[in-house]
Amino acid sequence: MSLNVHNAALVPPGVAPVAQPARVGGPDSRRGEPAVQGPSFKDVLRTSSQPQGVEFSRHALQRLERRGIELGEQTLARLSDGVQRAAGKGSRESVVFVDGTAFVVSVRNRTVITAVDPEHMREHVFTNIDSAVIA
């Protein structure tokens, strides 16, 4: 069975198109070919469009540990909410402030890039961000 799918509009005149592969669940599925299993496209789309928590880069985890920043469930929920609000406004890179701690976040990837506590905030300049959120 050929897995190449050709666009009929791109086949030159006078050339016979290659036979299309049988569709799973179609008439050829009676030949013992396994049916495709797994979640439907609709289910995958629904779960991927739902807001999810944030991830932390290795650098961010090092900063949290080195600076003694502790994150509880409530702080993580507020951080995630701030990232979701930034995404709703079309932000790409944002700084999200939660209880005086600044989190620089890649909104598209939902990944915290770095974290700065209030003690180290005076020494920092945040660059390459397009928004700020107070969560």
- Write down all domains in the chain, each with its CATH number in brackets: 53-134 (3.30.2310)
In whole angstroms, what is the distance from residue 9 CA to residue 6 CA? 9
Q: How many residues does the chain have?
A: 135
pTM equals: 0.62
Residue with the bigger pLDDT between 124 and 131: it is 131
| Lowest mean pLDDT segment, chosen from 9-18, 83-92, 116-125 | 9-18
Residue 24 CA to chain centroid, in angstroms? Answer: 30
